[in-house]
Structure 1
Amino acid sequence: MKDSNNPGQNSNNTSRHASIVELLSTPPAIAQQPQSATELEAISLSRNASATSLDSQMSSTTSCLTKVHAQKWQHIQLSQLIEENKLVTVEESVSVEEAFNTLVRHNLTSLPVEHASNDMNCFTFDYNDLNSYLLLVLNKIQVNDPKVARDCQMGKPVPVGEIVKLTPKNQFHKLRETDNLSMAMGILGSGVHRLAITDLEGTQIKGILSQRRLIKYLWDNARQFSSLQPLLNSSLRDLGIGVLDSQTAPTSRQSRVISIQGEEQLIMALYKMHNERISSIAVVDNHGNLLGNISVTDVKHVTRTSQYPLLHNTCRHFISVILNSRGLEMGKDSFPIFHVYPSSSLARTLAKLVATKAHRLWIVQPENSAASTPSSAISSSPQSTTLNAHAGANDHEVPNRSGSPISVKSFDENTAQTASTPLFEKEYRTGKLIGVVSLTDILGLLARRQTEHKQVDPQAARRQRGSVAV
C-alpha cells in the first residue's frame, strides 16, 4: 500500500471494498467536522472490524468518542476514560493457564493479579509474562526459583502469582479519577505501560489506563483538540521522535532498533523479546528489508503442545501462520501495516497504531517509489489471491476472539508457507528497516510539548525494568 496522503486514492476502485486497514491508514481531515455519525464511526473503528458491522461497533464505543470537549485535553478528568467493564482481575493462586484463558475470554492484554480483594499494590499479568512462562517450560531461561522452574518443566500447574514476580515490572502507578490527562501523560510518557485509576479515596481500583487506550482516545477525539493539529500535521523527521537512522547510536532517550532474521527460528524471536524486555520485534530479510512483525501476543499461537513445532520453524513462516489463522477465523480481506516512513505525519502514524493495536511501528526507507505496492495490485496477482482471501488483519495486541488458542491444524501449513512467498515479496518488502517509533515516543513528545512535564524521559521506565541482555 502506498503511504500516500491522498485519502481518496482508492475512491475510483469499484471492483473491491477497501479494507479497514486501508481506510484507517489515511488520517482524517482534522480541521473538518465529520459529515455524519457514520463517518466518525468509520474513522475510529479498529482494523479488525468488518466494514459491514458498523452498528455493532458503535454500541461498544464509549460516549467520549462523540462528545465535543469544551476544555483542553490536558484538563480532562480520568473518569471519562474509565471502562469499568474492562476491569477484570484474577487471584494470585489461579494457574497461569487459567489466567491466560481469562485474557483471551475478555479480549484483554493484561490482568491485575490480586493477593486479596481490592489489592491496591498488585502485580499485573500480561503476554510478556506468558512468553517468559513458555520459555521456562521449554527450559530456555533460568530463574531464581528452582521449584517454579521444575514445576513448569514437569507440566504442573503454576500459580500466576509466582510467574508475575519473575518478570521485572515498574511500580504500579495509581491516579484518582479526578486527576487529569496531563498527569497521566507524564507517567505513561516515561514508558510505563499502564496505570490504575482509583476512586476519590484511593482505596479501590475503578479502571486501568494503558498507553494504547490513551493514544486511541486522543486520536478518536482529535477533531475536538485543536492544539494537537500542528503536531499531527508534522512528520516524524520534523518532530525528531523515535529512531530514524539505525546506523547512528541511539541517545539515552531513544529505543534501539531490535530485529531478527526471517530465517531464524521463532523460539529465538521469543527469547530475544524476553531478553530485551520488548513486546514486539521486527522480522527482516538478509538485506535488512522489513518482512513483518512478531509480537508477544502471538505467543497464544504456540501455547499447545501440538503447536510446538512452530517454535523451531522460521519467523518468516510464523508470520504466514498468523495471517492465515486470522483470515480463517475472522474472514477478513486486509493486511497489517506495521511500517511508516520518516516523512509520515504523526497523524498517519497514530492512525496505524490505532488500526493495528500495536505498541510500535517500524520506520523503513523505501528503495524506490515502487517499494510500496498497493494492496489492490497485490489482490490482482493470481499467486497471492488465495492468501489475500484468507489473510486477516493481524491482531497483535488483542487475543483472538474465539476464546481459545488457535490450533495449527486448522489449515494446511505447507500451503500457507508456499502461498505466502509472493505476498511477502510484494507487500512486506516495503523498504529497508531504519528505525522505530513507539507509543512511548509519542506520549513522551506530547508530554514535553503540551504539558508541564517538560523533562519526561521516555526510556525511564525501561531502564528501571532493566534488560537481561548484557
Structure 2
Amino acid sequence: MKETANQAQNASTTSRHASIVELLSTPPAIPQQPSVTTDLESISLSRNASASSLESQMSSTTSCLTKVHSQKWQHTPLSQLIEQNKLVTVDGTLSVEEAFNTLIRHNLTSLPVEQFPGDMNCYTFDYNDLNSYLLLVLNKIQVNDPQVARDCQMGKPVPVGEIVKLTPKNQFHKLRELDNLTTAMGILGSGVHRVAITDNASTQIRGILSQRRLIKYLWDNARQFSGLQPLLNSSLKDLGIGVLDTHTAPTSRQSRVISIQGEEQLIMALYKMHTERISSIAVVDHHGNLLGNISVTDVKHVTRTSQYPLLHNTCRHFISVILNSRGLEMGKDSFPIFHVYPTSSLARTMAKLVATKAHRLWIVQPEKSSSSTPSSSSVVSNSPQSAAMNAAHSANSDHDTPNRSGSPISVKSFEETSAPTSTPLFEKEYRTGKLIGVLSLTDILGLFARRQTEHTKVDPLAARRQRGSVGV
C-alpha cells in the first residue's frame, strides 16, 4: 500500500503543489533535495478546504525536521544576506508623493533617504511615514514643524526628508559585511526593525537587513542549521513567547493586545497605529473574535482624494475593499492566515510569517462549538459580495520586496452550514477565534538571541515598553 501511494504521489507531482501540511511542517529543502518544493510563494489550498480544516490538519501533524548539516547560523557573515540590486535610495528633497511612487515602482516597503550622496546616517522612509503624512494632511495629528503641517494641509509638495524626521525612528545601526548573525540577532531581537550593512571600511552602505529578511533566511536554511530544531519543534506556549492578554487589570501599556472594533472608522485605525507605533492592527468583532488585519501598507489604498471616503467608513468595510482589490489584481481567491494558536509550533509560525510577509501574527483561542466551525463541504457563493473578500493582503514594514501575487497561503472563505443566524456574513466567514495575544518578529528573534547567542539579556518587551504615545 505504501509503495502504491508513493507511486500515485509521484505521478501527480506535475499537476499539484505539495500539501499545506508538508510545507508548513518542515522548512524548505536544501537544493540537494529537489523532491520537496521550496517555494512558499506557491502554498495554496483546494477550494474545497476551509481555514478550520487547515488548522486541524496542521495541529495533527508532527514536525519532522531533517538534519542535513550541522552549520551554525551564528557564524554566517552578513555579506551572505545582502540582496543584490535591492538597495534603492532617494534624495531628501524629493516630495513624499515621488518617494511613495518609488516604493511602488520598486516593490519595496522602505527606502533610505539621503541628505547628500553617500549619506551614512540617513533616515528611512516607509509606510509608517506615509501614514503620518496622510494624518497630517487630514489635520489629525500635530507636529513641531508648523510650516510642514501647513504645506501638507494645503496640498503643497513636502520634501520626504522633512517627513521622515517627524516619525520616531530606531537608532540607525550599521554593521559591516564581516560581522556575523550573532551581532545582528542581538540588535534585531531587541526590537530594531532593520540595520544597514556596510562595506568593511564602513564607508558605503551595501544593503539593508530587516527582521523579516532574517526570519526568512533562517527558515529557508533551517535544514542546514540543525541547532534550530529543538526550538522549531516547540509550541509557542512552551517557549513562552509573545504577549497574551490576562484577566487581571493591565499594569502597563504592554500587557494588552492592541486591536480595534470592526465598526470603528478606518481613520481611527490609522491614528491608533500611529500613536502606538505599530505597523498593523487586529480588527475584532464585539465579542473579541478576530475578523482581520489592517496594516500600514494598506494606506496606499487611500492616498488619492477620491478614496478619502473610505477613511470614514468602517474597518470591516475596508478589509473587504482590500480583499476585493487584491482579487481583481491577482485573479485569485485567497484569504491570508494571520493567526496562530498557543499550541502552534514555532516552525509553522515562522512558515506563516514568511508566507504572509507579515511583521506579526495574532494569537487566537479557537471556538469550541462545532456548530460555528465552517464546513469544508460548503458551497461557495459567487455573488459580488462574496467575491469582494477573496484576495489576501500582507502586513509588513521592512525593506523587503512585498508579495506580488497575494498571500502565498490561500484559503477560500466558506459560508457556514450551521442554522441561519443574524450574524453578518462577513463575521461568519472570517471569524477565526477569540483574540488573546500577539506574536511579532521581535519575539522570535529575541528568543533566538537569548537561547543561542551570548545576548542572553535581550528583551523583546523592552521595545514595547519604549513604545508610547508619539509626541512629535
Offset at residue 460 of structure 1 (A): 3.3
* C-alpha contact 1:366 1:372 (8 A) present in aligned 2: no
Q: Which amino acid in structure 2 is aligned with residue 244 of structure 1? A: L
Q: In structure 2, give the amino acid aligned to 1:435.
A: G
Structure 1 range deviating more: 95-104 or 365-374: 365-374
Q: One-letter code of the match for 2:438? A: V
Cα drift, residue 294 of structure 1:
0.3
Alignment partners' CA distance in 2, 1:353 and 1:392: 17
Give me the whole-angstrom Cα distance separating, in 2, the residues matched to 1:393 and 1:458. Answer: 28
TM-aligned CA distance change 1:399 to 1:454, over 3 Å:
closer
Question: Is contact 1:170–1:465 with CA below 8 Å preserved after alignment?
Answer: no
Aligned counterpart, 1:449: 451
Q: Summarize the Cα distance change of 1:309–1:270 in structure 2 as closer, same or farther, 3 Å threshold.
A: same
Q: Which of these two proteins has the greater Rg computed from alpha carbons?
A: 2
In structure 1, the residue matched to 2:441 is 439
How far, CA to CA, are the matches of 2:371 and 2:105 in structure 1? 39
Q: 1:422 aligns with which of 413, 421, 425?
A: 425
Moved more, 222-231 or 207-216: 222-231
Contact 1:89–1:113 at 8 Å: present in 2 too?
yes
Task: Check 1:389–1:126 CA distance in 2 against 1; reply closer, same or farther (3 A cut).
Answer: closer
TM-score (norm 1): 0.81
Deviations 1:80-127 (A, max 9, x none): 000131100000000000111111111111100001111110000010
Instruction: Report the 3-state secondary structure (helix = DSSP H, G, I; strand = E; otherwise coil) of the residue aligned with 1:222.
Output: coil
Which residue identity does 1:213 align to in structure 2?
R
The 3-state SS of whatever aligns with 2:37 is helix
State TM-score, norm by structure 2.
Answer: 0.81
Cα distance, 1:306–1:186 mapped onto 2, change above 3 Å = same
Unpaired segments of 5 or more residues in structure 2?
1-8, 46-67, 406-422
Aligned CA distance change for structure 1 residues 41 and 386 (closer, same or farther; 3 Å): farther
> Relative to structure 1, is the Cα distance of residues 46 and 256 closer, same or farther in structure 2, using a 3 angstrom cutoff?
farther
Aligned partner of 1:80: which letter? Q
Between 236-245 and 315-324, the greater mean CA deviation after superposition? 236-245
Which residue of structure 2 aligns with residue 29 of structure 1?
26
Classify the secondary structure of the residue corresponding to 1:294. strand
Instruction: Give the match for residue 96 of structure 1.
Output: 96
Q: Which amino acid aligns with 1:214?
A: L
Which position in structure 2 is the counterpart of 1:393? Answer: 392
Q: CA deviation at 1:71?
A: 2.8
- When residues 136 and 32 of structure 1 are mapped into structure 2, their CA distance, relative to the original with a 3 A threshold, is closer
Equivalent position of 1:167 in the other structure: 167
Bigger mean CA deviation after superposition, 388-397 or 105-114: 388-397
Does the 8 Å contact 1:371/1:431 carry over to 2?
no
Question: How many correspondences in the alignment?
Answer: 418
User: 1:399: Cα distance to partner?
Assistant: 5.5
Match of 2:41 in 1: 45
1:242 touches 1:255 (CA, 8 Å); kept in 2?
A: no
Is the contact made by 2:295 and 2:394 (CA closer than 8 Å) also made in structure 1? no
In 2: Cα distance, 1:389 partner to 1:263 partner: 18
Q: Deviations over 1:6-55 (max 9, x none)?
A: xxxxx9xx9xx9899x838952435987884363323x336699xxxxxx
Alignment partner, residue 343 of structure 1: 343
The corresponding residue for 1:381 is 380
How far 1:430 moved relative to its partner?
1.4
Q: Hey, what's the Cα distance between the residues in 1 that align with 2:426 and 2:226?
A: 40
The percent of aligned pairs where both chains have the same amino acid is 77
| 1:326-341 pair list within 5 angstroms | 326-341=326-341
Q: 1:384 to 1:69 in 2, by over 3 A?
A: farther
CA distance in 2 between partners of 1:212 and 1:253 (Å): 25
| RMSD of aligned alpha carbons | 3.2
- Contact residue 254 and residue 458 of structure 1 kept, 8 A: no
CA contact (8 A) 1:24 1:351 kept: no
Give the unaligned 5+ runs of structure 1: 1-10, 50-67, 403-419
Letter in 1 for 2:95: S
Q: Per the alignment, do residues 305 and 31 of structure 1 end up closer, same or farther by CA in structure 2, a change over 3 Å counting?
A: closer
* Farther-moved stretch of structure 1 (161-170 vs 237-246): 237-246
